[in-house]
Structure 1
C-alpha cells in the first residue's frame, strides 16, 4: 500500500490533503433571492441577510465534511472572476458575446472594461472575507479565492475592449505594472484582515493547453505561431510573479490552473505539457491545483517539472457530473501520480469548483457533498 512508504508531513496551511477549489452550488433560495433583487422585489439589505444565513450554513457543512480550509462558496458572486474585476477601481461591467466553450457554445455574455486607472483599495471582497473569518470554528482557515492577475491581463486585452485599455495604458508593460499594483493593494488588505492563504484561479493559461502551432495567422483562440505562444507565456508569468513579489512575504499564494467551467461545460482540454515551461518551473506560487478528471487532460509525467518543495493538488473527481467516482480508481491514479511527484506533497480535491458561475454545474447538492466525503475518506486512508 502506498501509505506505508513514508511518514507523512501534516500540512498546516491550505492545500490540505483533502481540499476544494472554492465554489459551491447555489441553494435555490439564494438563486430566487438574487432574481428578486434584480427585479427590485427585495432590497440589497434583504439579499445580504439571505446570503449571510446561507453562507453560515455552508461553512458548517464544509466543516462537517472535514474541510480544514473553507470558503463562502462564492455565494455573493455571479462569476468566479468578473465580480472581482468589477470591484477594482477603474473597471465597469459590460455586455459581451460570452466566452466560447469547447463545443462552440458560449457562456453568459458579461465582461469588464477599463474606464480609468486601476486601483485595489477598499475592495468589497475584504468584507466578504471578514464575514467568513468571523463564522469559522477555531482551527479552521479561510481560503480566499480570486482570479489571477494573468487572467485580469487577458481580460483587458480581449479584442472587444483592447482599444479602451490602450486609452488608459499606452503600453502593455504599463498595464502589467498597474494590474500588479492594484492586486497588491487588495492582497495587503486581505493580509491586514488576517488572511493567510490566497488562491489565484487562473484560466489565462487554458487556451495554451490545447494550442496548435501554425506557421502564421494565429487567431488568439487555439491557433498560435510559436512566437505568439512564447510571448504570451512570458507576459502571463510576468504579471503573476510581479504580483506575488509585491504581496506580503508570509501570505501563501496558490494557483488553480482552470480549463474553464460553465454549467458542466468547459473550454479547453489537453496535456499540461504545452504550459509546463515556464508555468511549473518559474511561477512563484506555493501549490498548483490541477484538473485531472478526464483522460483528455494528459498524463502525470509533467509533474516532474514542478519543484519538489511545492504542493500539487490532484483534481481527480469531476465537479461537472454527479456520478460518484470509483474509490479504487482514484487511489490508483494517486499512486500513478506519485511516480512523478512526491506523495508527501500531493493532495486531493475536485477538479474545479461546483459553480464557477451562479448557474452552477449539473449535479445535486447531495452529490456535491458525497464527492467531498469520498475525498476525505480516501485522504484519511492514504495519508
Structure 2
C-alpha cells in the first residue's frame, strides 16, 4: 500500500493493472501466501507495520492525497479492506497485531496528528487482534479516538 499511498493511481502501472481492484487483490494474495508460509514455519503471532493509516491522520498528507485525486476519507477503508483480504485465510490460532507509526527514526518524523480521522475504521473495520499505537508525544494527539476500541481488541500505547 505504500506505493499506492505515495503515488496514487499513477504509481501503479496501468497496463499491468487497468483495474485497481485487481492490484489490491494480487497484493492481498501475496500477503496470504506469506502468512501461510509463516504459519507453516511455526509462527503464531504476526505483527504488521502500517504507516499509511497513521499518515492519513496528518492534514498535509490528507491534502496531498486529495491533490493526486484520492479521497483521504475513503483511503482508510480501502487500506483496511486490503489488510482484511490479506488476513482472510489466517488460521484461528494466529494472533495478528498491527503497529501504526508516523515514521520516527532518530527523532525524524514524517507525519503528525491524532488518530481521529481514521479511528472508527481502524478499530472497527480492521480484522486484527491488537494495535500498537504511537502515543509518545504531542504529535500523536489525545486519547479521544480510543473511544472506538471494542472490548475484544487489545491496544498497547
TM-score of the superposed pair, with normalisation by structure 1? 0.38
Task: Summarize the alignment of residues 323-342 of structure 1 with structure 2, pairs less than 5 Å apart.
Answer: none
- The change in CA–CA distance for 1:208 and 1:256 in structure 2 (over 3 A counts) is same
For the 8 Å contact 2:5–2:52, the answer to whether it is kept is: no
RMSD: 2.5
CA contact (8 A) 1:233 1:278 kept: yes
Question: Whose RCO is larger (CA < 8 A, sep 6+)?
Answer: 2
Aligned to 1:193: 41
* Equivalent residue number for residue 337 of structure 1: none
Show the counterpart of 1:286.
129
Q: Which residue of 1 aligns with 2:54?
A: 206
Query: Which residue of structure 1 aligns with residue 64 of structure 2?
Result: 219
Relative distance call for 1:184 and 1:160 in structure 2 (3 A) is closer
Partner of 2:156: 313
**Matching residue of 2:77:** 234
What residue is the counterpart of 2:91 in the other structure?
Answer: 248
1:206/1:260 contact within 8 Å kept: no
Picking from 32, 40, 48, the partner of 1:184 is: 32
Aligned residues of 2:123 and 2:149 also touching (Cα < 8 A): yes
User: CA offsets, 1:26-73, max 9 Å, x none?
Assistant: xxxxxxxxxxxxxxxxxxxxxxxxxxxxxxxxxxxxxxxxxxxxxxxx
Q: Secondary structure at the match of 1:185?
A: helix
User: Any conservation in 2 of the 1:156–1:165 contact (CA below 8 Å)?
Assistant: no
Report the 3-state secondary structure (helix = DSSP H, G, I; strand = E; otherwise coil) of the residue aligned with 2:81.
helix
* Count of matched residue pairs: 156
Does the 8 Å CA contact 1:187/1:248 hold for their aligned counterparts? no
Structure 1 gaps, min length 5: 1-152, 315-383
Listed one character per residue, the Cα deviations across residues 169-206 of structure 1 (whole Å, up to 9, x for unaligned) are: 21110011001101000000000010010001110112
Q: Detail structure 1 runs of 4+ shifted over 6 Å in the superposition.
A: none
Residue 157 of structure 1, CA deviation: 5.7
Distance in 1 (alpha carbons) for counterparts of 2:93 and 2:153: 15
Query: For residues 195-237 of structure 1, what are the alpha-carbon distances to aligned partners after superposition, in whole Å with 9 as ceiling and x for unaligned?
Result: 01000111011221122699xxx432xx669x71222122111
Report the TM-score when normalising by structure 2.
0.87
Distance in 2 of aligned mates of 1:213 and 1:199? 25
Unaligned runs of 5+ in 2: none
